[in-house]
Amino acid sequence: MIKGSTAIFVLAAISVLSPDAVSAFSVVSPAVTSSVPSASAAFITTSTASSSSFLSGRNNHPSNHYDAAITASRTGRTSFLLLSSSSTDDQDADEDEEEEDAYADLKKDYPDLEFVNYNDPEYRMDRGMGDDDLDEKALLADKNDDETLAEIERMREERRRKNDEYQFETYHADVLRGGEVCLGEWSVYQTDTFMGEDVIKGRNEAAMGVPRLLRWDKVLKVVSRGSKIVVDNTMDKDDEDWMRVDGERIVHEERLATLDDFPSLMTRSDDEEVEELLWEEEEVLHVEKAYWPREMNSMDFRGAGGSMCVGKAYTICDTVPLAKKEGYENNVLERHEGPFSEMRSELGLQSDSMRFRVKLDYALLDEDKESAVATAPPPLHLRTLTICRETLDGYWPNPADNEGTDDDDAEATESSVRRKNQKAITETLFGPPGAPGGLYDPPPVGNEERATENYMLLNFEGGATVLLPHRLDQNTDNDSLGWVTSLDWTPGKVRYQVDRKVLGGTKLKGLKTLELSEVQGEDADTWRPRDGGANMRQ
């Protein structure tokens, strides 16, 4: 994990596919860790809704074999003092009685606290999840039968559903901003992988396995938004587990701009002729490609769906199965099962009124489609990469699309549309290419051969660096290393890096983690990790 000053924070949203854990959670941890207290010191921690304080206490236990690690926490009206003991097994009953007497001083000092002994076999941990959140291990110990196991699974599923709801609502409110319009410039890069053998032969001999990226001449002007819709599922409302989000879906819309989308054109006189915006069919089809389920529901935010958000970062994903089953589009679980013939994923960061997105479109080679079988699926290759530079304040990123005149010497009219922070936006979205010093915290990608044959590291205008796999092997073990896509971008004073880590094999749509790191931009080199690429640790 990142170590440094208190200005550095790490956020991680983790998707856990095992049934004995919550499907996702967020962690915020300061980079500076306190030194570990000695066994002879007592520390009292008082937790409130707004602050945490650490007070040094004294060890007045007569038995020196005790760890006096004391935690006092307040939950509602009840206070607890949790004691951890490291007593040995060879002590007699008289010493045990003396140990119980050792609590007398603490009880006198803290009369309002209830004392709980961790070593008590009857003790059950309060996870703070609610009155119905029983300790599952204790429940299993009490009654290990089918009825109990079913009850445990019911509680786990309830937690998963609550997390699904949180992700669904957060994505709509924070990423889509409740349905607000986003205006952006898209730069499209097409790989030579799908252009035929004659083009591929032109690659550098030292990197024949690495595709070349060819940038489209035209920059696409795109209007994007996402909103909620209500679906008719009145039959489900009779289910006792029904939640409000079960009757809601998120739909996305991305389209090429028209003349009506440019405020600068509205300020021109009727005498001025405005050239019509003409888009090629290939450009229209590119923008219409979906990187999300047609109607996104809360279940799509579980790990298997490949969609999640944390802090100022998010990712979404959509796939086309290699062998389509009837009705798979309406079956959430079957939609996420590989192998795939196509996969489209998106990774994005946003800050204030700006957003930087990377769209990755993968597909099978034409020669692989005919012979592809689910038992030995061929790899997916990067087909296109799209960089989306967007603003969320109602204006276009490029000042030329907002101003009433393009002539610097011309006198601006009162009706000219201008934004006050245009200079900062231009520098952030269109500044020099590449993150300072390269990717801030390079993630592990495997051995050198895998890094060379499967990955690319690219720099883009706006101070962004992207690490991505250009080839996704699907014929590996599902428990293999998996794949990672990273985006490093500094929109202002804070530098962000988001890592999208997915599973291997045919489960490559499923998220392992979505990790976001934040560091003050000016301090980034000072606190840059030196671990040679390691997974974030909780």
Q: What is the pLDDT of residues 157-172, one digit of tens each?
A: 889 999 999 999 999 9
Residue 140's pLDDT is what?
Answer: 54
Residue 183 inside a domain? The answer is: yes
**Looking at the whole model, is its pTM more than 0.85?**
no
Give the containing element (helix H, strand E) for 109.
Answer: helix 103-109
Q: For residue range 422-458, what is the model confidence (pLDDT) as tens digits?
A: 999 999 999 999 999 999 999 999 999 999 899 999 9
- For 263-312, the pLDDT digits (tens) are 765 555 555 666 778 999 999 999 999 999 999 999 999 999 999 999 99
- Domain annotation covers residue 34: no
Which of residues 71 and 135 earns the better pLDDT score? 135
Best-predicted range by mean pLDDT (244-253, 282-291, 395-404, 474-483):
282-291
Q: What is the mean pLDDT of residues 200-213?
A: 86
Residues 6+ away with beta carbon under 8 Å from 58: 42
The candidate with the shortest Cα–Cα distance to 316, out of 336, 290, 345, is 345
404, 411 contact by CB (below 8 A): no
Q: Is the pLDDT of residue 521 over 80?
A: yes
Residue 436 lies in a domain: yes
- Provide the pLDDT for residue 273: 62
Does the pLDDT value for residue 195 go beyond 70? Answer: yes
Q: Tell me, what's the pLDDT at 424?
A: 93
Alpha helices (H) along 116-246: 136-142, 146-170, 197-200
Residue 93 lies in a domain: no
Question: Which spans in 181-323 are helix H?
Answer: 197-200, 263-266, 281-288
Average pLDDT score over residue span 215-240: 84
- Please tell me the predicted confidence (pLDDT) of residue 338: 87
Residue 243 belongs to domain spanning: 156-523
Find, among 463, 464, 473, 466, the residue nearest to 443 by Cα: 466
Work out how many domains the chain is built from and give that number.
1
What is the per-residue pLDDT for 301?
94
Measured CA distances, 306 to 8, 158, 309, 416 (Å): 27, 20, 10, 43
**Nearest partner of 126 among 67, 80, 69, judged by Cα:** 80
Query: What residues are paired with 484 via a beta bridge?
Result: 501
Q: In this structure, are residues 351 and 492 in contact, taking their beta carbons and an 8 Å threshold?
A: yes
Q: Give the mean model confidence (pLDDT) for residues 201-230.
A: 92
Q: Which of 90, 85, 74 minimizes the C-alpha distance to 120?
A: 85
Average pLDDT, the chain: 76
Q: Give every CB contact of residue 360 below 8 A, 6+ residues apart in sequence.
A: 344, 345, 346, 347, 382, 385, 468, 485
Tell me the two tokens of residue 464.
């962004």
Domain-located, residue 240: yes
Residues 6 or more apart in contact with residue 118 via CB below 8 angstroms: 82, 83, 84, 85
Q: What is the pLDDT of residue 431?
A: 96
DSSP 296: B
Is pLDDT above 50 for 350?
Answer: yes
**pLDDT (0 to 100) of residue 375:** 72
N-to-C CA span, the chain: 8
Neighbours of 230 (CB within 10 A): 9
DSSP type of residue 295? S
Check residue 233 and give its pLDDT. 64
Q: Are strands 464-469 and 494-502 parallel, antiparallel or unpaired?
A: unpaired
What number is the average pLDDT over the span 193-216? 89
Tell me the per-residue pLDDT of 122-155, one tens digit each, with 9 for 90 and over: 655 454 444 445 555 555 555 567 888 888 888 9
